[in-house]
Structure 1
Amino acid sequence: MKNIQEMGSFFFFFMLSWVLGGFFFSCRAASISLQLNDDVLGLIVFKAGIQDPTSSLSSWSEDDDSPCHWNFVQCDRNSGRVTEVSLDGLSLSGKIGRGLEKLQNLQALSLSNNNFSGTINPELARIESLRRLNLSRNSLSGSIPPSLGNMSSIQVLDFSENSLSGTIPDYVFNNCFSLRFVNLGGNSFEGSLPYTLSKCMFLGGLNLSSNHLQGDPDFVNGIWLLKRLRVLDLSNNGFSGPVPEGVAGLHNLKELHLQGNLFSGSLPLDIGFCIHLMHLDFSNNIFSGALPSSFQSLTSLSYLSLAGNNLMGELPPWIGNMKSLQYLDFSSNGFKGILPDSLGNLKLLSYLSLSHNSLSGSIPESLAKCDRLSEIRFRDNLFNGTMALLPFESLQVLDLSKNDLRGSIPPEIIFCSNLTYFNLSWNSLDSRIPPELGDLHMLSELDLRYSGLHGSIAENLCSSKSLSVLALDGNSLSGPIPQEIGSCSNLYVLSLSNNSLNGSIPSSLLKLQKLEVLNMALNKLSGEIPQELGGLESLVAVNLSYNQLTGRLPSGGIFQSLDQSSLEGNLGICSPILNDQPCKMNTPKPLVLDPNAYDGVAGTIVPDLRNSGKSKRKEFLSVSAIIAISAASLIILGVLVVTLLNVSAQRRAPNNIPIDSLSSGGSKCSNQAMGRLVMFEAGSEDWVNNAQSLLNKASEVGRGAFGTLYKATVGEGRVVAIKRLPSSNLSLSEEDFDNEVRNLARARHPNLVGLKGYYWAPQLQLLISEFVPGGSLHERLFSGKSPSLSWAIRFKIALGVAKSLAHLHHACRPTIVHYGLKPSNVLLDANCIPKLSDYGLVRLFSSLGKRGLSMSPGYMAPELTCGSLCVNEKCDVYSFGVLLLEIVSGRRAVEYREDDMVMLCEDVRSMVERGRGLECVDMKMEEYAEEEVVPLLRLGLVCTSQVPSSRPSMAEVVQILQVIKTPVPERMEVF
């Protein structure tokens, strides 16, 4: 019926035009019909070339005469032509092929947050009406096609979060008079900025963050000509040198992001003329000098971060004039002096961090006026005086650790009712633990280590039941551990070491079913270890050394595999771990040693002068006493001898490792004379000019399959990592070695450890790279020394590692295969951003054969264990799948049990197939997104498929991870 009606309408229109003699109207009608069919045809052709796993485009039918009622399509009411296609976040994949160029009235095309791959289709430039083009958050690769430089109507161009590479070509901005917003962030562009950028006089927003762009700041002169810029983001690149004058010309600027570069010199003096600035981030550069006074003119500024620079001097009183500040971070600089009272004028301030400086004096009481503060971080300064009263109901984080605060913890702390993190460790307090801390019902982490506490542990400390970390080590606490400690039902870290606690270990600890770390070493605890503690299945670390404990160990849990160091110093504990004789604890024993004569700190027996009367002489003259004393004396003598030998050896051992000790064989200098030091960074010759200066202070920090790793401080405090390669297995010539290493150095990515240079000699080869101070993922997952990683951080690590591998596989030419991926090769910086190390080193050892290319058990793809030597990208995908399962489960790739060896991927596969995937999740995480963990487990299983062709590419993995991640609403601005 519908077709009949439409045919009737067309016939009526045709007859009317014929009757009126208007042949033009007839042609016009035919043209409209043809154009409408072009829109349908173009979208159907586009749909046919992509994959739609969720059937989001099911309403698109080729039988329709118009696409205006289709989902995600908008049309002009008058002409009926398609003007907007928005397919964001629909899990679409494939290549952006032909068809869209037929939509000649299209004004907005958005394909963001999908899985599109391949290159950008140059045919898109044929849509002359296009004003907004958004292809962000996909896996597009290659360069920007030249045809896009001819799009004269384009206003918004967003290619961010892809894998685009090469330089940003000049032709992109050849015809940019209509451009209002450009976002190329989160790609792999390199080189300097195109000179044509200065032509874009109407540009309001420019985001080039998280690429590999570099160069001296002469490039900025062109940007300073863009007078209409409101947002400029050049963060996380490699720009260096001082910022030249001219920023004042950007008088409309509202946001300026320069963080994560190598900018040096003083902060721009004319920044104060940008009076509309609201967000300013210069963090993690090399800026030096004092704060320019022009900053006080930024009265609209709400966000200011200068963290991680070399700024000096005192904080000026005029900082209180910046009354719009909500976020202020001056951490990790060289500021000194006292805090100005004017900080109290910042009434809107919610975040304040001054950690890692040299600030001194008292914390000003005027801060109490900033009643919106939710985080105060003053860690690692020289603050003294008493702890300032900060009774903020809004306060959630208070970190005053590593200072020299005196006095007591004020009971008014109870008014901070929303406090979740409280750290006063490493101070010089003279205080008891105030019972008011137990009334902070939101308190999750309490760290009072080495803070000068005395008295007993407050019984009500766990009344809120929210406490998850309780650290009271290194104080003068005495008395028994209260039974009420069992009320801390959410506790996973309990550390009370190096105090004077006595009495028995409370059996109420059995209630702490989430407890992972238990440290009670160096106290005066006595009695038997409660057998009930063997039922704490979550325990992964226990230390009860140097107490006065007796009896048998609990029969279950971690107590069956404790290290000797966890129990030593307890001469009454009966355990095969301590090489004791068979236990006879149920039969009476003669009193041999006075328990009160035990020195719990030193771990030795000392004479008890207080009880040396005649009443004791008979005991000392008994045969058992003589034998016991003789044995104890021999043990003490042996310990003293071993200790003296160790001390002597340590004194003779050099503090530094000279280059001679790193070279293998040959004379002392002969090999070095033939060596060559090559640095890839301009200016690095100022801090490394020869191998001797590079290694004369090196210290070993680890060993791996590809050599030994050293840490060295060079130049003006620069820290680098040095890997000494096993020369006996390296058969490359100097020229081939140079070519291979330079290829690796070009693989720059925010999630890769940057390669700085190398040293080559016939018998000594070194790789020089950036040093990542935060340790490895292996340590954070399995050592139990640090608090468990949150789910958000774990997901960020997984995504970062995936992006780095995708970059190695898809953006590097020739392709780089890691072949050695495991948690110990994933390093974490201070913000838990992952940095992949040891990538591509297999190319340096290509002549070793299969035996030389051994991998850690559990991470090797099955095809490599079956005689195949085809080391390719799919091997990395398999290893990444295992790593993904480890991140989610907190378990190792291979677990060795009493009579069996358990492979993690097989165990998880069995659990997921039975619908019990959530049982695989690491229980150390109190919170996680169920809608994310199970898909991640499934992705890990897909990556560990036995058939290589069934594994996805790393580009596909990145896109799957981005789809899995729960979207966070983002602020949108129209320019």
Structure 2
Amino acid sequence: MLLKLKLIFLLVLAPVFVRSLDPTFNDDVLGLIVFKAGLEDPKEKLTSWSEDDDNPCNWVGVKCDPKTKRVVGLTLDGFSLSGHIGRGLLRLQFLQVLSLSNNNFTGTINADLASFGTLQVVDFSENNLSGLIPDEFFRQCGSLREVSFANNNLTGPIPESLSFCSSLESVNFSSNRLSGQLPYGIWFLRSLQSLDLSNNLLEGEIVKGISNLYDLRAIKLGKNKFSGQLPEDIGGCSMLKVLDFGVNSLSGSLPDSLQRLNSCSSLSLKGNSFTGEVPDWIGKLANLESLDLSLNQFSGRIPSSIGNLVFLKELNISMNQFTGGLPESMMNCGNLLAIDVSQNKLTGNIPTWIFKMGLQTVSLSGNRLGESMQYPSFASMKDSYQGLQVLDLSSNALSGVIPSNIGDLSSLMLLNMSMNYLFGSIPASIGKLKAIQVLDFSDNWLNGTIPPQIGGAVSLKELKLEKNFLSGRIPSQIKNCSSLTSLILSQNNLTGPVPAAIANLSNLKYVDLSFNDLSGILPKELINLSHLLSFNISHNHLHGELPVGGFFNTISPSSVSGNPSLCGSVVNRSCPAVQNKPIVLNPNSSNPYTGNSSPNHRRKIVLSISALIAIGAAAFIAIGVIAVTVLNIRVRSSMSRAAAALSFSGGEDYSCSPTKDPNYGKLVMFSGDAEFAAGANALLNKDCELGRGGFGVVYRTILQDGRSVAIKKLTVSGLIKSQEDFEKEMKTLGKIRHHNLVALEGYYWTPSLQLLIYEFISSGSLYKHLHDGSSRNCLSWRQRFNIILGMAKGLAYLHHTNIIHYNLKSTNVLIDSSGEPKVGDFGLARLLPMLDRCILSSKIQSALGYMAPEFACRTVKITEKCDVYGFGVLVLEVVTGKRPVEYMEDDVVVLCDMVRGALEDGRVEDCVDARLRGNFPADEAIPVIKLGLICASQVPSNRPDMEEVVNILELIQSPLDGQEELE
């Protein structure tokens, strides 16, 4: 301490005296020793600095002129030094470089440091300096080329004197708290190459004049409060490579002069209020490697000229109002590594080229992309996916299933497909994602179980599967995901116990298993989860005592509510006392004390039971044989009586006869008698006509027992198969029995006349209820939902029996007296000698609007997915009350296109039939509409199976259905 005081005294009070006493004493040594005396040096970086040395040229961080031995450079970056930047440095009269960055220096900037006149580089960045930047610092800066005060706590304005430093090439005052406006004189620093004032509190407009900086290479004014427009003359900085005006309050459109920045490699305008369309000239910035226009108000389509940016590596246009799709020209951006177009209004399908470019990050979330998941084969393009690390497709309108080979994306670290309309199961290949850290499939329509292969995702940190329809148990293999911090499985249909294996996940912080069907006792080992912040098991069927200790001593009551059988202090329910289990004796035991039963006695019991089963089975078979025999006799008798009673208008007489005469027809009824009444309701009477369709005319007639039936007279006789094939198809269709399908009761055959006999449905067709009824008798929402669900169940049953309807439309859906829908006219296309789509199309041309697009493509196979398409159109027709195609005075409105457009514009609720007057649950109506659009997808493989549709509808159905129906 005495030495330090002596040195300070000599330096400050008696410099002349020192020189006179010791002419060899070096001013640089003295100045540096005094500077060191005011510092804390915890890492002892400056131990080589000794006042006994003649010169400091061998000291750490010191650079001398080799001739004069005077200090010209002092570089102490990252030495962990603290204290003030003392006056001792003023002794270094020949100092050119002063770099003290990345330390803990405090206090203010000494204005006298620039008085040397030789100083060229000053770097005080990444310290804790405070106060103003002194105006005097730049008044004697003739040789100063670089100055950096970045990452400190400096306040106040940028000094006007900065414009005096004509030799300045680089200025960095970023990451402070500087305020006020940008000094106009800064545009006169003609030698300036880099200006970084980002992350401050600067405000006002960026005034014109920047074009004076001919040699400017980088300008960063981001993260301030600048307002107004970009300076119009910014294009004059022809050497500019980096331009960052992001996160300000700039507005207006992009100045045309920007297109002259041909050397620009990085352009960031994010976080402003720019408006209008991005001009096509953006493609002229041929050297761009990074383009960030995110978080603005840009609108219109993404310019296709972006495809000209062949060096582009990063593209971020997220959080704007872009519409349309991604331009195909972007395939030309062969160096692209990251693309973020999230939070826009983009529509259409996800282009497959995105998955062919070797991207590392793909974020398409928060758009209206759909209708489907369209992937190329991952296996065939493995090289393209090796680098993909982030794939975010969340919050779109995607449907379909998760690709089974998703596990081929081996480098994936984040996979987010949440908030879509994905159905099907989670593929087992998910376990192959060894690098995955975040996996989010939440808020979809996924079903099935959580695959046990999930344990293979050993790097997983966040697993989010909530708001789906997953069932089964939580796999114990989850314990292999040792890095897991978040396990969110709420609002599913999971069953079984909470696995004890979860207690092995020592890093868990957030667990949500609420709103499932979990049962059993909570494992006591859960108290070992020392990092838990939340553990929600509410609304399950758990029982027994809550774990005691650790996090569970302070768990919120709401986190365990909805489990009536849980006990413990948290739920204010005492647990029952432990009792010894009662002794249960074997009632068949010969010795009540040993519990051993007689083997012979057990054998007798077994034999008795076997005998009873055998006797019962034999009796059942015998009764069945007798019943079938009696039934056959009655059917033959009724056929004879019915044939005798047949009377057709036109004078022809058809009756069943034992003769071989080919003029007589053959009548077959699948059950019951078939005696038709005569008179006014005679068979095929014109007055009893119910309707006409592509395959024939339908009449109503009455049996003698008073029961009505519907008779379809086929008008496709010339195309119908042989009698043998016809009867074979009829017998197949006659076996179809489902409460949502119109039953075929029988048929009549001659070579010139074929009749199909159906059950009669009293309340008419769905078309009549939707389009011919008054608004007062309008179908309620609950009736409409039940009709949609019933149609789905009927079609699902048909498809299960390998029958395609081919002719689905609202006139072929009948409503019975209880309001249940019954799908009719199914399977008639099977009567044609071949399923020629031209003939088929002509026969069902009245189904315009319902026909799947593959009817127009001869190379696409006709499958059950054609029915799914027609069902999707029917769903929209039922919900909206509008026909599939409506002809206006000057326009044709296609229902699917209209609803899809409303969905894209965020007004899907407006599509619901106006006659409901808002009396419908939006949480049912909107998912039903979206399901209809998914079913009516243009691509067959994107449409779900009807069984999946039924499951989805039952899950959409409101839990309040049992309550009073909405009016």
Q: TM-score, normalised by structure 1?
A: 0.55
Q: Does 1:170 align with 2:160?
A: yes
The verdict on how the C-alpha distance between 1:294 and 1:559 changes in structure 2, with shifts beyond 3 A counting, is same
- Indicate conservation of the 8 Å contact 1:553/1:573, yes or no: yes
Distance 1:104 1:521 in 2: 73
Letter in 1 for 2:332: N
What is the Cα deviation at residue 205 of structure 1? 0.8
The verdict on how the C-alpha distance between 1:273 and 1:576 changes in structure 2, with shifts beyond 3 A counting, is same
CA displacement 1:621-664 (0-9 Å, x = unmatched): xxxxxxxxxxxxxxxxxxxxxxxxxxxxxxxxxxxxxxxxxxxx
The verdict on how the C-alpha distance between 1:36 and 1:253 changes in structure 2, with shifts beyond 3 A counting, is farther
The verdict on how the C-alpha distance between 1:227 and 1:452 changes in structure 2, with shifts beyond 3 A counting, is same
Correspondence for 1:314: 301
The match for 2:466 among 461, 473, 476 is 473
SS in 2 for 1:214: strand
- Indicate conservation of the 8 Å contact 1:52/1:91, yes or no: yes
Q: Does 1:53 align with 2:53?
A: no
The verdict on how the C-alpha distance between 1:267 and 1:431 changes in structure 2, with shifts beyond 3 A counting, is farther
What is the Cα deviation at residue 469 of structure 1? 1.6
More divergent stretch after superposition (46-55 vs 112-121): 46-55
- Indicate conservation of the 8 Å contact 1:389/1:413, yes or no: no
Q: Does 1:443 align with 2:436?
A: yes
What are the equivalent positions in structure 2 for 1:751-830 lying under 5 Å apart?
A: none
- Indicate conservation of the 8 Å contact 1:564/1:578, yes or no: yes
What is the Cα deviation at residue 450 of structure 1? 1.2
- Indicate conservation of the 8 Å contact 1:39/1:82, yes or no: yes
The verdict on how the C-alpha distance between 1:100 and 1:404 changes in structure 2, with shifts beyond 3 A counting, is same
Correspondence for 1:347: 334
The match for 2:217 among 223, 226, 230 is 230
- Indicate conservation of the 8 Å contact 1:342/1:366, yes or no: no
- Indicate conservation of the 8 Å contact 2:347/2:369, yes or no: yes
The match for 2:348 among 352, 361, 371 is 361
What is the Cα deviation at residue 194 of structure 1? 2.0
Correspondence for 1:769: none
What is the Cα deviation at residue 545 of structure 1? 2.2
Distance 1:563 1:81 in 2: 70
What is the Cα deviation at residue 582 of structure 1? 5.0
The verdict on how the C-alpha distance between 1:74 and 1:522 changes in structure 2, with shifts beyond 3 A counting, is same
CA displacement 1:51-103 (0-9 Å, x = unmatched): 33333222222222222112111122233332211111222233223233333
Q: Give the % identical residues.
A: 40
What is the Cα deviation at residue 516 of structure 1? 2.7
Correspondence for 1:157: 147
- Indicate conservation of the 8 Å contact 2:350/2:373, yes or no: yes
The match for 1:483 among 469, 476, 479 is 476
Distance 1:549 1:408 in 2: 32
SS in 1 for 2:112: helix
The verdict on how the C-alpha distance between 1:296 and 1:569 changes in structure 2, with shifts beyond 3 A counting, is same
The match for 2:388 among 395, 409, 428 is 395
What are the equivalent positions in structure 2 for 1:424-435 lying under 5 Å apart?
A: 424-435=417-428
- Indicate conservation of the 8 Å contact 2:135/2:159, yes or no: no
Correspondence for 1:939: none
Correspondence for 2:821: none
- Indicate conservation of the 8 Å contact 1:36/1:81, yes or no: no
- Indicate conservation of the 8 Å contact 1:36/1:80, yes or no: no
The match for 2:110 among 74, 99, 121 is 121
Letter in 1 for 2:352: E
What is the Cα deviation at residue 587 of structure 1? 7.8
The verdict on how the C-alpha distance between 1:173 and 1:456 changes in structure 2, with shifts beyond 3 A counting, is same
The match for 2:204 among 211, 215, 222 is 215
CA displacement 1:435-464 (0-9 Å, x = unmatched): 010111111221111121111111111123
Letter in 2 for 1:520: L
- Indicate conservation of the 8 Å contact 1:345/1:370, yes or no: no
Letter in 1 for 2:366: D
The verdict on how the C-alpha distance between 1:489 and 1:164 changes in structure 2, with shifts beyond 3 A counting, is closer
Correspondence for 2:558: 565
- Indicate conservation of the 8 Å contact 1:102/1:127, yes or no: no
Q: Which has the higher contact order (CA 8 A, sep 6+)?
A: 1
Correspondence for 2:784: none
What is the Cα deviation at residue 407 of structure 1? 0.7
- Indicate conservation of the 8 Å contact 1:206/1:233, yes or no: yes
- Indicate conservation of the 8 Å contact 1:340/1:364, yes or no: no
What is the Cα deviation at residue 147 of structure 1? 4.6
Correspondence for 1:272: 259
Distance 1:52 1:510 in 2: 47
Distance 1:554 1:159 in 2: 56
The verdict on how the C-alpha distance between 1:94 and 1:368 changes in structure 2, with shifts beyond 3 A counting, is same
Correspondence for 2:175: 186
The verdict on how the C-alpha distance between 1:476 and 1:51 changes in structure 2, with shifts beyond 3 A counting, is closer
CA displacement 1:362-398 (0-9 Å, x = unmatched): 1111112321x22111221111122243751111111
- Indicate conservation of the 8 Å contact 1:277/1:301, yes or no: yes
What are the equivalent positions in structure 2 for 1:125-144 lying under 5 Å apart?
A: 125-140=114-129, 141-144=131-134
Letter in 2 for 1:428: Y
Distance 2:321 2:141 in 1: 49
Q: Does 1:540 align with 2:533?
A: yes
The verdict on how the C-alpha distance between 1:378 and 1:41 changes in structure 2, with shifts beyond 3 A counting, is same
Letter in 1 for 2:449: S
What are the equivalent positions in structure 2 for 1:621-660 lying under 5 Å apart?
A: none
The verdict on how the C-alpha distance between 1:151 and 1:34 changes in structure 2, with shifts beyond 3 A counting, is farther
Correspondence for 2:520: 527
The verdict on how the C-alpha distance between 1:511 and 1:143 changes in structure 2, with shifts beyond 3 A counting, is closer
What are the equivalent positions in structure 2 for 1:681-692 lying under 5 Å apart?
A: none
Letter in 1 for 2:312: L
- Indicate conservation of the 8 Å contact 2:399/2:423, yes or no: yes
CA displacement 1:119-142 (0-9 Å, x = unmatched): 222222221222111122223322
Correspondence for 1:644: none
CA displacement 1:759-804 (0-9 Å, x = unmatched): xxxxxxxxxxxxxxxxxxxxxxxxxxxxxxxxxxxxxxxxxxxxxx
Distance 1:123 1:451 in 2: 67
CA displacement 1:472-492 (0-9 Å, x = unmatched): 111111222223233332222
Correspondence for 2:56: 67
Could you say what the CA RMSD is over the residues aligned between the two structures, in angstroms? 2.4
SS in 2 for 1:498: coil
Correspondence for 2:65: 76
Distance 2:68 2:440 in 1: 68
SS in 1 for 2:154: strand
Unaligned runs of 5+ in 2: 1-18, 379-384, 583-967
The verdict on how the C-alpha distance between 1:582 and 1:162 changes in structure 2, with shifts beyond 3 A counting, is closer
Distance 2:509 2:177 in 1: 41
Distance 1:36 1:249 in 2: 54
What is the Cα deviation at residue 334 of structure 1? 1.1
The verdict on how the C-alpha distance between 1:397 and 1:586 changes in structure 2, with shifts beyond 3 A counting, is farther
Distance 1:143 1:464 in 2: 53
- Indicate conservation of the 8 Å contact 2:279/2:303, yes or no: no
What is the Cα deviation at residue 213 of structure 1? 1.4
What is the Cα deviation at residue 217 of structure 1? 2.8
The verdict on how the C-alpha distance between 1:82 and 1:452 changes in structure 2, with shifts beyond 3 A counting, is same
Distance 1:507 1:548 in 2: 17
The verdict on how the C-alpha distance between 1:38 and 1:427 changes in structure 2, with shifts beyond 3 A counting, is same
Letter in 1 for 2:492: N
SS in 1 for 2:424: coil
CA displacement 1:489-508 (0-9 Å, x = unmatched): 22222222211222333333
How many residue pairs get aligned? The number is 555
What is the Cα deviation at residue 577 of structure 1? 3.8
Structure having the higher Rg: 2
Distance 2:71 2:40 in 1: 22
What is the Cα deviation at residue 114 of structure 1? 2.1
- Indicate conservation of the 8 Å contact 2:417/2:441, yes or no: yes
The verdict on how the C-alpha distance between 1:568 and 1:40 changes in structure 2, with shifts beyond 3 A counting, is closer
Distance 1:69 1:293 in 2: 60
Distance 2:374 2:551 in 1: 43
Letter in 1 for 2:94: N
Letter in 1 for 2:400: G
SS in 1 for 2:502: helix
